[in-house]
A and B are shown apart, each in its own frame.
Chain A
Amino acid sequence: MSFYGLVDGSDSSLKKYLGGLSGVDQVGADARASMLATRSIKTTSKRWAIDTAISMVDLTTLEGADTPGKVQALCTKAVRPDPTDSTVPSVGAVCVYNDMVGIARKHLDLIGGSHVGVAAVSTAFPSGRASMPVKIQDTQDALDAGASEIDMVIDRGAFLSGDYITVFNEIVQIRELCGERAHLKVIFETGELVTYDNVRKASFLAMAAGADFIKTSTGKVAPAATAPVVLVMLEAVRDFYSMTQTRIGVKPAGGIRNTKDAIKQLVLVNETAGPEWLTPSLFRIGASALLNDLLMQRMKMDDGYYASPAYVTID
């Protein structure tokens, strides 16, 4: 592994690499994010943003109560979010626990959704509190069942205690396991890392270790994908691209529930990382309730009035 030539895999080189990052001023980052939230996206650009956002959704169900029936319904919705309107794009992927991966993959393929990916949350999601062999087996199960994307969690305990090399090595091992078979998304759980300095540090750590995507949160901890956190991560992928000519994706997850929030995310992408990131291969939104609000807003733009929620499906 070359780690882009940024680190040699040793603790000292990792510390040096992370120590060279500039800090993040919290007040300034908050101010920039709230300024970008004032962008007014109307008419044609709003329509474009809604469809783009739909195509970026990782439609998610991560519940103890998940059943094959629930997951199959989710898959159907993912492929054709609005059964009455074939111009609505499919979502980016469905995101499930690893025992549901096979069911999801099989059902998607069955209904003409082979272009929709299956993302599996992994490495003892959401806490990440398990031994490395367990995390590896967890990931292996998901891969074997046909996951095309692995959403792993980092060991926040190790990160917060300054044991960056452990976090790094875990990502490297999962990356190796994924190989060519699956994209790797690395979840930081920014609500537990708390500071923007930590978010920036975790971003650079994960990118050097081989992440294809960096992801804010599990959805199980609040606050999750706040605008300034996403801003800091988008700055990180932008800077990483200047350093390595490699574009890493970003996935905010948790707390993005309506169209307004989703459009704000797209504005953040557009004016921070740049328009090159406005594609499902580099930006995803982890959400469940969001999709229906996007569909309602889309209908409203077409019809000129808000339809009853009875016109969108609840799957």
Chain B
Amino acid sequence: MKFDYAPAPESRSIVSIKPKYGHFIGGKFVAGRKHFPTINPATEEVLSQIALAGVAEVDAAVKAARKAYTTTWSKMSGRERGKYLFRIARIMQERSREFAVLETLDNGKPIRESRDVDVPLAAAHFFYHAGWADKLEFAGLGTSTKPHGVAGQIIPWNFPLLMLAWKVAPALAAGNTVVLKPAENTSLTALLFAEVCQQAELPAGVVNIVTGNGSTGALIVNHPGIDKIAFTGSTEVGKIIARAVAPTQKSVTLELGGKAANIIFEDAAIDEAIEGIVNGVFFNQGHVCCAGSRLILQESVADEVIEKLKRRMSMIRVGDPMDKNTDLGAINSKEQLLKIRELSATGDDEGAQRWSAPCDLPKKGFWFAPTIFTGVTQSHRIAREEIFGPVLSVLTFRTPQEGIDKANNTPFGLSAGVWSEKGSRILWASQQLRAGVIWSNTFNKFDPTSPFGGYKESGWGREGGRHGLSAYLKGVGHE
């Protein structure tokens, strides 16, 4: 018998999207000059027109942030700053459905994920950092820590609101003011967050949000009035930023790409490992810098795991992101879809075997079926380059050391997964792996208390936990 789930769409009536948005500078929405469209990647419907910030807008935002820093925020006690953060966190919770629906419309991720992961975690980051605001001298980072001043923050399109929270919450807790630029494809939840700042009566200029593309990002990075740059995005852009700030006094943290190894040892709990593989690479359509995009399988269980994985992948529900039962939503942009297709094609060309889960993809919008490549070796491009989509490369190993060596044989080092029911093996593997985050018997678990960041070309610095806090304080950490 067939159990078809009838459509269960979340209502979009809770959000009201304006036809056109400006920037949020000095506590007010100011009209933009030039605009560009932002679309729903699941339908290609134009949602709104987003303003493109140029020199004048970025300059105004930095000046507003400086003024707020000098006159208000740096003079305020930590306890008072904390109250604002708590207030923001609570409002985000109260308006969580609004944030979730808007995020899904603008980004293409399933409502189940924006509802159950992105928004609750974003609120959790504000709650966590609110608690630090009046306890900075007890964070083990020294007793006379000082904020940097004005932080310029540039965030990606994969977790628009969550990345905003990762950036804004610690910056404000530590006493900085911010100029934030959301990704050009996904500005809407940041603009809703600006409303929350108003609702929380956050002093004007403490948070400034300018929208735009890479050119706007470059203006922020190169602005002399900014003391600290925090960027999450591609390694390619991260390198440009690193070069740009090298001759300046700016402090910088970078969260960049990854090609994480998810290592399955033969003594793993196989069914849960399958779930971990699926969650590792198909969560958020694989648009995750720490995605477990390389499956490194012990040969003795390889056939069993691949068979079970294919079966499980056939169950993945691909389609309307607003449907509460959707597991895999739309690819965020046409550009990204083309990149996924191009890199996958190199997998075919280089002799790996492609298998995609059978599923009906919608006609409109940007879609890519969950896909695995077997027979992948270290020399394949799909084993080395970040695809940033729902594509998994499967490699095998014979001995534990060989598995570790393959896992580490990458210019990246953001995350890794270790699956084994043997505690000593997990501890040993974790010590060998060169990655900033290592999950054992789970994957893609995030918590504001836990530092997140990369080795090698995956980035500089950490976000979250005490380590993340240190990035927003002078004279500590990596500076």
Contacts and interface: CB of A to CB of B under 8 A. Distances in A.
Interface centre among B116, B270, B441, by most chain A C-beta atoms within 10 angstroms, is B270
A157 B63 CA distance: 75
A148 interface: no
B272 A32 contact: yes
Interface in B3-49: 3-8
Contacts of B421: 22-23, 25
B11 to A, nearest CB: 12
Closest A-B pairs by Cβ, 9 of them: A28-B272, A40-B8, A25-B269, A25-B272, A40-B324, A45-B6, A278-B1, A23-B421, A270-B3
A40 B7 CA distance: 9
A192 B77 CA distance: 55
Contacts of B315: 271
Interface in A29-66: 29, 31-32, 38-46, 48-49, 52
Contact of A266 (B3, B269, B325, B441): B3
A24 B272 contact: yes
Given A25-B441, A41-B8, A271-B315, A235 B271 contact: yes
Contacts of B2: 275, 278
Interface of B: 1-8, 112, 116, 267-273, 275-276, 307, 315, 324-325, 421, 441-442
Contact of A52 (B1, B269, B275): B1
A235 B4 CA distance: 21
A271 B317 CA distance: 11
Given A40-B324, A52-B1, A29 B8 contact: no
Given A25-B441, A27-B442, A28-B441, A39 B272 contact: no
Given A38-B112, A38-B324, A40-B325, A28 B5 contact: no
Interface of A: 22-25, 27-29, 31-32, 38-46, 48-49, 52, 235, 242, 266-267, 270-271, 275, 278-279
A275 B1 contact: yes
Interface centre among A22, A242, A266, by most chain B C-beta atoms within 10 angstroms, is A22
Contact of B269 (A24, A31, A42, A267): A24
Contact of A27 (B4, B5, B271, B441): B441
Contacts of A27: 272, 441-442
A27 B276 CA distance: 11
Given A24-B269, A28-B272, A41-B5, 5 more contacts: A25-B441, A28-B275, A32-B272, A39-B325, A40-B324
Grouping DSSP codes into helix (H, G, I), strand (E, B) and loop, the A interface class, with mixed when no group exceeds half, is helix
16 contacts: A23-B269, A24-B272, A27-B442, A28-B441, A28-B442, A29-B272, A39-B324, A39-B325, A40-B5, A41-B5, A43-B6, A44-B6, A45-B3, A242-B307, A266-B3, A270-B3
A266 B5 CA distance: 11
B359 to A, nearest CB: 14
A144 B35 CA distance: 83
Contacts of B307: 242
Given A25-B421, A40-B324, A45 B271 contact: no
A22 B269 contact: yes
Contact of B3 (A22, A42, A242, A278): A278
B269 A28 contact: yes
Interface centre among B4, B5, B7, B8, by most chain A C-beta atoms within 10 angstroms, is B5
B468 to A, nearest CB: 25
A13 B216 CA distance: 69
B264 to A, nearest CB: 11
Contacts of A44: 4, 6
A48 B5 CA distance: 10
A270 B1 CA distance: 9
Nearest to A46: B6
